[in-house]
């Protein structure tokens, strides 16, 4: 039976919006900010990308506008939590709802549309066939033929992974997140790094929104992110806020979504296809938590037997580190 390259092609495409958002969430997590406004920022990115492309005729200006809008929107979180020390959960929930109301409102006032907007003249992102790679059996059909933003997301994984481990900026960011008081005493500005992390995540969500609205489809629909931002939050947890881990965790969703649509073609109800990605994510979340819990217990047992103290990493629960 030939391997289904179309399935993995679809999975990679579905992964991209979540990957961008999750990378943003991972950066914030590393900086000590619990960012669950990814859903709202993604949606703002979707709308702005479509509006930008529509009014300028260029999808790439749409992408640029989406990044700027993502940054501006994420400033709400930056000002609210870093400067004003407000409650990040309340603020993020409100931002998600604000994005929903605002994009629906603007859909009415800017496009005069209700529910969704698309048009034959709306320009989407073009697709690239990579020379040489496209001709490789199996790999070629999966990897080639995506929009440039898909490739950009892979580059972002590598760049951020290197930055967080090898670059002064990344090391300081992690320091700010893990021990802010120590970082402050060494002269590193906690506020500045957190602002940078939040704004970068805004830009990344803008890119994710642009890919979703102009790359995966060519339209804007109300609430079109449909929980992808929340999946990204889970991917950050599953991936332990590391870019590569986030990529793999997000890939789970991509495969589940692609598989869901495939099964739908075989006669499974559409509702099962719709639910599959969320169920897969939940199962992965519980399994990962179980693994972490077991490690913690093993460490505790080792201690009880007179072994070394359990490492903080092994004992840490899945999710944001808060003391």
Closer Cβ to another protein, 76 or 183, answer by number? 76
Closer Cβ to another protein, 5 or 295, answer by number? 295
Query: What one-character DSSP code corresponds to residue 133?
Result: G
**What's the CA gap between 130 and 290, in Å, rounded?**
41
Regarding 317 and contact with another protein (CB under 8 A), the answer is yes
Both structure tokens of 65? 């506008």
Regarding 80 and contact with another protein (CB under 8 A), the answer is yes
Q: How far is the CB of 271 from another protein (least distance, A)?
A: 4
3-state secondary structure of 124: coil
3-state secondary structure of 144: coil
Burial of 3 (0-12, 13-18, 19+ CB in 10 A): exposed
Regarding 100 and contact with another protein (CB under 8 A), the answer is yes
Closer Cβ to another protein, 55 or 286, answer by number? 286
Q: How far is the CB of 58 from another protein (least distance, A)?
A: 25
Regarding 91 and contact with another protein (CB under 8 A), the answer is yes
Both structure tokens of 305? 């037997």
Taking CA 222 as the corner, what is the angle to CA 241 and CA 260, rounded to the nearest 5 degrees?
Answer: 60
Regarding 227 and contact with another protein (CB under 8 A), the answer is yes
Query: What one-character DSSP code corresponds to residue 136?
Result: S
**What's the CA gap between 178 and 99, in Å, rounded?**
30
Report the residue from 230, 245, 247, 259 that binds another protein according to the rule CB under 8 A.
Answer: 230
**What's the CA gap between 68 and 302, in Å, rounded?**
51
219 within 8 A of 209, measured Cβ to Cβ: no
205 within 8 A of 38, measured Cβ to Cβ: yes
Regarding 35 and contact with another protein (CB under 8 A), the answer is no
Regarding 94 and contact with another protein (CB under 8 A), the answer is yes
Regarding 237 and contact with another protein (CB under 8 A), the answer is yes
Closer Cβ to another protein, 57 or 317, answer by number? 317
Cα distances from 260 to residues 229, 264, 313, in angstroms, run: 19, 6, 35
**What's the CA gap between 85 and 129, in Å, rounded?**
47
Closer Cβ to another protein, 106 or 159, answer by number? 106
Q: How far is the CB of 89 from another protein (least distance, A)?
A: 6
Q: How far is the CB of 312 from another protein (least distance, A)?
A: 15
Q: How far is the CB of 105 from another protein (least distance, A)?
A: 4
Q: How far is the CB of 63 from another protein (least distance, A)?
A: 25
Residues numbered 253-292 forming contacts with another protein, rule: CB under 8 A: 269, 271-272, 274-275, 278-279, 281-282, 285-286, 289-290, 292
Helix 243-265 / helix 148-166 crossing angle, nearest 10 deg: 150
Q: Compute how many residues bind another protein; rule: CB under 8 A.
A: 50
Closer Cβ to another protein, 50 or 63, answer by number? 50
The residues facing 128 across adjacent strands are 146
**What's the CA gap between 34 and 322, in Å, rounded?**
9
Regarding 109 and contact with another protein (CB under 8 A), the answer is yes
The sign of the CA dihedral 302, 304, 308, 311 is positive
Q: How far is the CB of 155 from another protein (least distance, A)?
A: 28
Regarding 184 and contact with another protein (CB under 8 A), the answer is no
**Chain residues that interact with another protein, rule: CB under 8 A:** 36, 76, 79-81, 84-87, 89-91, 93-95, 97-98, 100-102, 104-105, 108-109, 226-227, 230-231, 233-234, 237, 269, 271-272, 274-275, 278-279, 281-282, 285-286, 289-290, 292-293, 317-320
């Amino acid at each position: 039976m030939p391997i289904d390259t179309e399935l993995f092609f679809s999975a990679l495409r579905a992964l991209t919006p979540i990957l961008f958002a999750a990378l943003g969430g991972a950066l914030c997590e590393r900086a000590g900010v619990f960012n669950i406004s990814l859903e709202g920022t993604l949606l703002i990115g979707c709308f702005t990308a479509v509006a930008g492309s529509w009014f300028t005729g260029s999808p790439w200006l749409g992408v640029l506008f989406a990044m700027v809008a993502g940054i501006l929107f994420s400033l709400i979180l930056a000002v609210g939590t870093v400067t004003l020390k407000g409650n990040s959960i309340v603020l993020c929930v409100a931002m998600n709802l604000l994005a929903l109301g605002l994009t629906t409102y603007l859909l009415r006032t800017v496009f005069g549309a209700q529910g969704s907007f698309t048009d034959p003249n709306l320009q989407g992102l073009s697709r690239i066939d990579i020379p040489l790679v496209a001709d490789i059996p199996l790999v070629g059909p999966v990897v080639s033929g995506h929009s440039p933003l898909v490739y950009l997301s892979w580059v972002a994984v590598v760049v951020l992974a290197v930055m967080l481990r090898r670059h002064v900026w990344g090391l300081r960011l992690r320091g700010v997140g893990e021990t802010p008081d120590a970082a402050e005493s060494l002269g590193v500005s906690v506020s500045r790094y957190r602002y940078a992390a939040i704004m970068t995540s805004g830009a990344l969500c803008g890119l994710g929104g642009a890919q979703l609205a102009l790359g995966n489809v060519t339209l804007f629909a109300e609430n079109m992110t449909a929980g992808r931002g929340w999946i990204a939050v889970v991917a950050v947890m599953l991936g332990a806020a590391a870019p590569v881990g986030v990529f793999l965790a997000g890939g789970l969703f991509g495969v589940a979504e692609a598989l869901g649509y495939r099964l739908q073609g075989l006669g499974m109800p559409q509702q099962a296809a719709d639910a599959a990605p969320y169920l897969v994510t939940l199962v992965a979340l519980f399994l990962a938590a179980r693994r972490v819990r077991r490690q913690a217990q093993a460490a505790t047992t080792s201690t009880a037997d007179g072994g070394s103290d359990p490492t903080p990493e092994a004992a840490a629960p899945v999710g944001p580190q808060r003391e």
